[in-house]
Amino acid sequence: MQRNTFADFNFNKQILNAIEDAGYTTPTPIQQKAIPPILAGQDVMGIAQTGTGKTAAFVLPILMKLKYAQGNDARTLILSPTRELAMQIEENIRLFAKYTDLRTVVLYGGLGPKTQIAELEKGVDIIVATPGRFLDLYLAGHIVTKSLNSLVMDEADKMMDMGFIGKLHRILEVVPRKRQNLLFSATMSELVHKIAGDFLAFPTIVEVSEQATPAQTVTQKLYYVPNLKTKINLLQHLLKDDETLHRLIVFCKTKAVADNVYHFLERKYGTDNVRVIHANKGQNTRINSINAFKEGAIRILVATDVAARGLDVSNVSHVINFDVPIVIEDYVHRIGRTGRAFQTGDAITFCNAAEEYYIRKIEKLIRQQIPVAAIPDGVFIEKTEFEERQAIAREIDAQKRKDSPEFKGAFHEKKASNQKSGKPPRSKSRPTGNSKRGRGKKKT
């Protein structure tokens, strides 16, 4: 049965009024497919990429089933891989539960637990938590699980990537066996299949698109860029079009690269236009940066993958992958930050020679080729410095070794060919390249 309005789900007036206040009129495909079986009490496995309205697909029916505050202990537990996503889920709950008296507490690490414990002691209906902090507070005796009747695992693939499988199994041991289970994931890796088997009983499978297919509203583009300095030059060139690139997220692979890119952009565009978030930034700094970006106070947010999921910002015009993600599923989540809620967006990726390996894997995952664009004429292509050239060569060797364990590496092959031809291998201390015999000797 096609449900064209939220009233078709028979939600109560409080929830319908909150949905109307939030400006939502038509359920998204994942909501149309997931809400009825959740309301019916079935276990559900939802495969949906980010930006499809997935959070509301489980939050709305949960609110409808809980209806009003009751008792002291939580009846629903929602598990999230990151603080940012936990906060976004809580934000959704508050948005849709505004006309109810339901109590929500969000639990995550990175700050002292005192405030969170105090909130739990006031009484709670819904707990949203990262696995580690939930277990810490449970083992310390601050959480009672006997009233839990529904358990949600959101972004299950990210939980697996982050190594939470042990903690998740521990949580499954301490929650009541008789409960409704909901699992949502953008991709279905082997580990997600494993946890789904342990977690769900005869689930209804809801899939709104092919697994890991990027949103149709996102236009993708790939630039082959030889080195870090040229990536900076290309980024600077693209940012000249401030009318088109009016709100963008620049994703970097490491905290060090994120900080370097941030400092460059800060010098270029000023502190008022740029923020950076990564794991070394304090919780308050990250929250303030995300809020400033959401409100449109800043134009550019530089981030590592800590922000790739759970960052729900409308009107993000562009995502720029300054580095190609090594966890290939993160590509889908990164570019899902734009083109949200039926709007269009652009995802641009910079790729050096060592990152081509991951691009091939990403293209296989998303079942499409990313269109390649030529570096614009106005971009100066820098010479790759020796250290970066060596790092790229080592990375390519490691990739070849991963795919073929018998591969010995370029340096090994060079040594082997010298031995075959009778040439002695070069001594490590001996000068190489254009150096002349005797250069480097100490003058007397």
| CATH code (residue 223) | 3.40.50.300
Cβ neighbours of residue 276 under 8 Å, at least 6 residues apart? 258, 259, 261, 262, 289, 301, 302, 303
Higher pLDDT, 3 or 127: 127
CA distance 161 to 329: 9
Q: 224 and 176, same structural domain? A: no
Provide DSSP, 113-169: SHHHHHHHHT--SEEEE-HHHHHHHHHTT----TT--EEEE-SHHHHHHTT-HHHHH
Higher pLDDT, 311 or 17: 17
What does pLDDT average to over the chain?
85
Q: 264 and 122, same structural domain? A: no
Q: 54 and 73, same structural domain? A: yes
Per the structure, the count of domains in the chain is 3
pLDDT digits (tens, 9 = 90+) for 358-368: 999 999 888 88
Picking from 50-59, 93-102, 295-304, 387-396, which range would have the lowest pLDDT averaged per residue?
A: 50-59
pTM: 0.59
Residue 117 lies in a domain: yes
CA distance 100 to 94: 9
Are the CB atoms for 317 and 345 separated by under 8 Å?
A: yes
Residue 434 pLDDT = 44
Among 349, 373, 397, the domain-final residue is 373
User: In which band, very low, low, confident or very high, does the pLDDT at 440 lie, cut at 50, 70 and 90?
Assistant: very low
- Is the pLDDT reported for residue 346 higher than 60? yes
Residue 23 lies in a domain: yes
Residue 65 pLDDT = 95
- Is the pLDDT reported for residue 13 higher than 90? yes
Residue 190 pLDDT = 76
Sheet with 126-129: list strands edge to edge. 104-107, 126-129, 76-79, 150-153, 180-185, 44-47, 204-207
For the record, the structure tokens of 358 come out as 């991951």
Residue 82 pLDDT = 87
Residue 439 lies in a domain: no
Are the CB atoms for 83 and 283 separated by under 8 Å?
A: yes
Residue 437 lies in a domain: no
**Which is nearest to 78 in space by CA: 227, 179, 187, 160?**
179
- Residue 118 has a CB neighbour count (10 Å cut-off) of 11
Q: 222 and 105, same structural domain? A: no
Q: 305 and 241, same structural domain? A: yes
> Could you identify the residue written with the tokens 């839990």?
148
Backbone angles phi and psi of 136, in degrees to 5:
-55, -50
Structural domain containing residue 183: 6-207
Residue 441 pLDDT = 44
User: Roughly what angle, to the nearest 10 degrees, separates helices 165-174 and 190-199?
Assistant: 0
Q: 362 and 412, same structural domain? A: no
Torsion, Cα 186 158 78 180, to 10 degrees, reads: 60
List helix spans (H) across 367-424: 386-403, 410-420
Q: 292 and 233, same structural domain? A: yes
pLDDT digits (tens, 9 = 90+) for 207-258: 876 555 566 778 999 999 999 999 999 999 999 988 888 889 999 998 899 9
pLDDT digits (tens, 9 = 90+) for 381-431: 999 999 999 999 999 998 888 877 777 666 555 555 555 555 555 544 444
For the record, the structure tokens of 423 come out as 């040439």
Q: 176 and 40, same structural domain? A: yes
DSSP annotation of 249: E
pLDDT digits (tens, 9 = 90+) for 176-185: 989 999 999 8
**Which is nearest to 155 in space by CA: 315, 407, 336, 353?**
336
For the record, the structure tokens of 176 come out as 């009541």
- Pick the most confident of 39-53, 165-179, 184-198, 200-214: 165-179
Q: What is the mean pLDDT of residues 140-145?
A: 95
Residue 440 lies in a domain: no
> Could you identify the residue written with the tokens 């639990």?
107
Q: What is the mean pLDDT of residues 71-86?
A: 92
Residue 432 pLDDT = 43
DSSP annotation of 384: P
Residue 438 lies in a domain: no
